Amino acid sequence: MKALRDGTAASEGGRPQRRWWGWLKLLFRVLILVLVTWGIAKTVRQAQQEFAAHQFAWREVDLGWLCLAAVSYVAGLAPCWVFWHRTLWAMGQRPRWQESLRAHWIGHLGKYIPGKAMVVVLRTGLVYSERVNRTVAATSVFVETLTMMAVGAFVAAVCLLLTNQNVLLMWLAVGMMVGSGAPT
């Protein structure tokens, strides 16, 4: 590779490559890390304030129930991951299950950034490979998210119907189910 005066380097094929491209990608990744860290720190501070307001004491927490809650949380995410993994395969992508599992669970950290768009960036970046196209991966994140929103709205509508709660809320849930499920 030969260095040129304009800050580029000539590759073997004669096409110039920008040296700064690698630095720009690194800067983008560091920025994502900083944003996720900031979001998590902000959430932890808010939780500490809420705990203090309710005079919460950690020594009163039963470790067994806390572990059961953690296992239940991870188990509850598993169907969403399986659906996303299968969606990627249905879209012609071939991620390994370990790659999509890692991307799905780490992607949840993006929920702590305002706007929640970081979920798409994290999952797409982590699952991207020679077997997974970046654009298709991002699209699959939206398919999974909208489908899970539709499922949640369906469950809400059924619960409202069975408990004879507010009929207006039930129809709103049905509308949200259709609205979020139709694009998928």
pLDDT tens digits, residue range 21-36? 888 888 888 898 898 8
Tokens representing 105?
């669970």
Alpha helices in 17-62 (DSSP H): 20-53
Q: Which helix (H) or strand (E) holds 170?
A: helix 167-181
| Number of domains into which the chain is organized | 1
pLDDT tens digits, residue range 111-147? 877 777 889 999 999 999 999 999 999 999 999 999 9
Average pLDDT, rounded, for the chain? 88
Q: Report yes or no on 33 lying in a domain.
A: yes
Higher-pLDDT residue of 19 and 43 is: 43
Q: What is the pTM of this model?
A: 0.71
Domain that holds residue 18: 1-60
Q: Report yes or no on 56 lying in a domain.
A: yes
pLDDT tens digits, residue range 106-121? 998 888 777 778 899 9
pLDDT number for residue 61 = 87
Q: Report yes or no on 125 lying in a domain.
A: no
Q: Report yes or no on 41 lying in a domain.
A: yes
